[in-house]
């Protein structure tokens, strides 16, 4: 069984995090999110994966190589210009030799891929599309189907009061190879907006596979933070242990811990600092005396000065938060940014390093 994982998007909504780190390499509990997705595929028995990439591809290819260290076969195909979610599939057609999964590279879900495959085989459809229930379907592609699951209509981002259902496209597809025949070559094509609606209009059998699995699209900072909270709470089971977890947990002074937290290797934390709850430290972070870091995600090598406060913040690698600074809720600090001592950042600040 093969899978295509789409990893070519620019991830504009996650900027400034994605200015240096492409979205698939953004860490989830200190592991690049794409590595988690690939391990999940492997567990489901899928070890032949094609990855259409295009934005900062070297950061992805240099980490994964040919995938043999994961016991997988990975092939990257770099798009010179973005081809969209269906154009990217057409562009890798020569590598596909049968039915295949397609995964959006930014979806964290507990979906059981084997169960989805069994459902696809049961219906005999041309395509099976994973759906979940959304409280507010207006931000998603709404799917209408009959009682057998056969899809009747696709409505992309309808106004909330006009959405005909709350079942939405969750970004995991199982496609027969024949779907590729319906995608024009050599231009950008969206699978959600163009290919699926065209197949339905042509009367082809597409089926819904609706589950109540955990599901979140990591593509916005609030969702990226929320996903970590859900992992800590075990709403999204990733095996994180309560209290202090992570390879660096033994080096954390107990007086500083407000669990749950996850700590990378080589961190130095002052005994009178406060770390947590719901906080992740990457490798080699330093948390100074009296500093408070709560509900926050710090990537590798972040330095938090004495008495600084961070709450509900995301801080990319190598950034430095000066002594006494206050980082407002929802702020996102880019790679290598230096926040001067005693700065008060407004909530939801977005700060990227300026080119020197």
- For residue 121, give Cα distances in angstroms to 89, 107, 127, 132, 206: 21, 24, 10, 20, 12
Q: Is the peptide bond before 4 cis (omega within 30 degrees of 0)?
A: no
- Map residue 354 onto helix, strand or coil: coil
- Residue 8 near ligand GTP by CB under 6 A: yes
Per rule CB under 6 A, is residue 23 in the interface with ligand GTP? Answer: yes
Q: Per the omega criterion (within 30 degrees of 0), is the bond before 184 cis? A: no
Nearest-approach distance from CB 122 to ligand GTP, in angstroms: 27
Instruction: Give the residue with the Cβ less far from ligand GTP, 11 or 197.
Output: 11
Q: Tell me how crowded residue 3 is: count the other CB atoms within 10 A of its CB.
A: 22
Part in contact with ligand GTP (CB under 6 A); list of ranges 6-14, 117-125, 238-246, 268-276: 6-14
Q: Helices 33-43 and 57-64: crossing angle, nearest 10°? A: 50
285 binds ligand GTP (CB under 6 A): no
Q: Residue 7 or residue 267: which is nearer to ligand GTP going by CB? A: 7
Q: Is 6 in the site for ligand GTP (CB under 6 A)?
A: yes
Q: Does 106 bind ligand GTP (CB under 6 A)?
A: yes
The Cα–Cα gap between 268 and 304 comes to: 10
Subset of 215-234 contacting ligand GTP (CB under 6 A):
219
Nearest to 333 by CA among 297, 284, 308: 297
Q: How many residues bind ligand GTP (CB under 6 A)?
A: 21
Q: Does 13 bind ligand GTP (CB under 6 A)?
A: yes
36 binds ligand GTP (CB under 6 A): no
Q: Give me the least distance between CB of 132 and ligand GTP, in Å please.
A: 15
**Residue 120: CA atoms inside 13 Å, Cβ hemisphere, count?**
19
Tokens of 323: 């002594």
79 is an interface residue for ligand GTP by CB under 6 A? yes
Q: Which is nearer to ligand GTP, 54 or 264 (CB)?
A: 54
CB proximity list for 272: less than 8 A, separation 6 or greater? 255, 256, 289, 290
Which residues, including other chains, have CB under 8 Å from residue 181's CB and lie 6 or more apart?
Answer: none
104 is a site residue for ligand GTP (CB under 6 A): yes
Could you tell me the smallest distance in angstroms from the CB atom of residue 92 to ligand GTP?
9
Backbone phi, psi, residue 77, to 5°: -125, 115
Query: How far apart are the C-alpha atoms of 279 and 29, rounded to whole Å?
Result: 10
Residue 7, interface with ligand GTP (CB under 6 A)? yes
Of 53 and 287, which has the nearer Cβ to ligand GTP? 53
* Contact call for residue 52 and ligand GTP (CB under 6 A): yes
Out of 84, 149, 276, 324, name the contact with ligand GTP by CB under 6 A: 84
Least CB distance to ligand GTP at residue 249 (A): 32
Out of 1, 10, 48, 311, the only residue in the binding site for ligand GTP (CB under 6 A) is: 10
Between CA 245 and CA 238 the distance in angstroms is: 12
Nearest distance, CB of residue 14 and ligand GTP, angstroms: 6
Provide the 10 A C-beta neighbour count for residue 298. 29
Interface with ligand GTP by CB under 6 A: which range of 8-16, 237-245, 321-329, 339-347?
Answer: 8-16
The number of helices, as runs of H, and strands, as runs of E, in the chain is 6, 30
Residues making contact with ligand GTP (CB under 6 A):
6-13, 23, 52, 54, 79, 82-85, 88, 104-106, 219
């Amino acid at each position: 069984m093969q899978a295509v994982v789409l990893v070519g998007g620019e991830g504009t909504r996650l900027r400034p995090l994605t200015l240096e780190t492409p979205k698939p390499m953004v860490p989830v509990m200190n592991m690049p999110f794409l590595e988690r997705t690939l391990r999940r595929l492997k567990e489901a028995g899928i070890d032949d994966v094609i990855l259409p990439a295009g934005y900062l591809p070297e950061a992805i290819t240099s980490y994964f190589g040919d995938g043999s260290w994961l016991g997988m076969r990975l092939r990257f195909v770099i798009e010179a210009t973005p081809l969209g979610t269906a154009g990217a599939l057409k562009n890798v057609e020569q590598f596909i030799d049968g039915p295949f999964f397609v995964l959006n590279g930014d979806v964290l879900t507990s979906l059981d891929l084997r169960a989805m495959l069994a459902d696809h085989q049961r219906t005999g459809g041309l395509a099976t599309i994973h759906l979940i229930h959304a409280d507010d379907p207006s931000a998603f592609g709404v799917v209408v189907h009959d009682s057998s699951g056969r899809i009747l209509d696709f409505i992309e981002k309808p106004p909330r009061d006009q959405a005909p259902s709350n079942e939405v496209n969750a970004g995991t597809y199982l496609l027969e190879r024949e779907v590729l025949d319906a995608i024009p070559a050599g231009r950008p094509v969206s699978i959600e907006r163009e290919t699926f609606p065209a197949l339905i209009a042509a009367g082809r059998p597409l089926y819904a596979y609706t589950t109540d699995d955990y599901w979140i699209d990591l593509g916005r900072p609030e969702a990226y933070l929320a996903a970590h909270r859900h992992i800590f709470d075990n709403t999204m089971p990733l095996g994180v242990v309560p209290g202090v977890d992570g390879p660096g947990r033994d080096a954390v002074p107990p007086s500083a811990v407000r669990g749950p937290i996850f700590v990378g290797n080589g961190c130095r934390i002052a005994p009178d600092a406060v770390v947590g709850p719901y906080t992740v430290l990457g490798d080699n972070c330093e948390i100074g005396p009296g500093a408070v870091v709560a509900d926050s995600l710090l990537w590798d090598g972040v330095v938090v000065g004495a008495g600084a406060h961070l709450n509900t913040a995301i801080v990319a690698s190598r950034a430095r938060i000066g002594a006494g600074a206050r980082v407002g809720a929802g702020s996102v600090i880019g790679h290598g940014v230096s926040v001067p001592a005693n700065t008060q950042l407004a909530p939801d600040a977005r700060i990227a390093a300026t080119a020197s």
